[in-house]
Amino acid sequence: MNTPVEGFSKLTKAEKIEWIARNYTKDPDASKQLLERYWNPEEQVQKLHDEFIENTLSNYYLPFAIAPNFLINEKLYAIPMAIEESSVVAAASKAAKFWLNRGGFKTTVLGTEKVGQVHFIYSGNPNKLDSFFQNLKPALIKSVSSITQNMEKRGGGIKDIQLRNFDEKIPGYHQLHCTFETLDAMGANFINSCLEQFAKTLQEQAQSYPEFTSEEKQIEVVMSILSNYVPNCLVKAEVSCHISNLKEEGIPGEVFARKMKRAVDIAKAEPYRAVTHNKGIMNGIDAVVLATGNDFRAVEAGIHAYAAKDGQYSSLTNAHIEDDIFKFWIEVPLALGTVGGLTSLHPLVKLALEILQEPTAKELMQIVAVAGLAQNFAALRSLVTTGIQKGHMKMHLLNMLNQMGATESEKKQLVTYFKDHTVTNASVKEALERIQSR
């Protein structure tokens, strides 16, 4: 039976590997070799990796790929993507190529407002709290002047502070709802530092406010934290063309446009489909967010909340046909940064940003939104024409052959064979066994 370990964080890397291999794996020697194979102790970059998080044992690699030929606002991009799922990069590239000669992608940043909140309990007269807040607001802003001065010099800082009352949902619950402009930084540390100071100032000022009773002065701060829901940090990406330019897989443009719109309409109306529809969008978004060193978990949470903003989870993309013009677009909240965090530390992140021609945070928002729109277009294009499995399974073929232990020669033969045959697990296994039995 395994027993708890004391002081694991103080062990050396080798000791950590030894302990986990001996106590939690079936073949300790093989496990140690695997962990050591993906760890590069002689490289300077390894020290950076080891300090990103705690208790590191090794590195977990994901493929780093490029989807080329993205024309965005008349500028050509090759988009870095870090992802493990078969067909994502191929699908994005195919969508980029499709729209390259049809006007490309157009994007607009609709807002860059980020949000943080001080959550607190106040059990007194709400009218008194409102009056108190009017006096408090200038003091709150002044209290963080040392934190905000550099951000303000660059054009950012605090945009507004509002008092919000949620007493009907939770007795006594109120919040300071604060909005920020953080420019090219994602801004989490900046926002959280401001919020924690707001909380201190709130409690201090309450103690000396003459209109409060002794009980009302005892404001309880529950927590101070940024929100990953940023509905006003919004970007729009779109494509459009005459339906006659949409002829696809032998399907007339008018028919193809109508099929695409119907597929989007279904995802807007029905949550089961909407979840998978939006998951495909996130294949593109997450891959670029990860490649550029941003927080894909925060992005995911905020985007899925936005997809449910009208009371039902729904499609993030939209399709419209008017005057024989097909229009396909997405509006999505994205809080991203191109300075700070991993962007200045991880060598591949720095390379990804260089490949993207050193974008500002606003430009990165637009690129990421385009990746999501392209991915969705490619998925729907397959679904309403050939079906999703034809392209996906062919991309998955090599993974299947590797799992089955195929040799390089066998893989080469089978890749050729399945150009004209349906890929399923059973058909691949049967074809491999046929070659091996010769």
As given in the structure block, the two tokens for residue 114 are: 């980020």
pLDDT at 391: 56
203 within 8 A of 183, measured Cβ to Cβ: no
Token code pair at residue 415: 């890749």
Residue 234 · residue 332 · CB < 8 Å: yes
Which pLDDT score is estimated for 403? 86
**CB contact at 8 A, 426 and 126:** no
At CA 192, angle to CA 283 and CA 216, rounded to 5?
130
Active site residues: 85, 279, 295, 392
Q: For the segment 203-260, what is each residue's pLDDT rounded down to a tens digit?
A: 999 999 999 999 999 999 999 999 999 999 999 999 999 999 998 768 899 999 999 9
Element (H or E) spanning 110, and its range? Answer: none
Residue 377 near residue 239 (C-beta atoms within 8 A): yes
* Integer Cα distance of 291 and 343 in angstroms: 10
Torsion sign, CA atoms 244, 249, 252, 253:
negative
- CATH topology for 114-227 is Alpha-Beta Plaits (3.30.70)
Q: Would you tell me how many other CB atoms lie within 10 Å of the CB of residue 223?
A: 12
Angle between helices 388-403 and 408-417 (to 10 degrees): 160
CATH 3.30.70.420 location in the chain: 114-227
Q: Does the domain at residues 64-111+231-386 carry the CATH identifier 3.40.50.970?
A: no
Tell me the two tokens of residue 339: 């300075």
* pLDDT value at residue 3: 80
Torsion sign over Cα 415, 416, 422, 426: negative
| Tally of CA atoms within 13 A in the half-sphere of 217 that contains its CB | 11
| pLDDT the model gives residue 390 | 57
Q: Residues of CATH 3.90.770.10 domain(s) within the chain?
A: 64-111+231-386
DSSP state letter for 63 = -
Stretches in the chain below the pLDDT threshold 50: none
Q: What size, in residues, is the chain?
A: 438
Enter the pTM of the model. 0.89
H-state helical runs in 123-221: 126-143, 145-153, 188-207
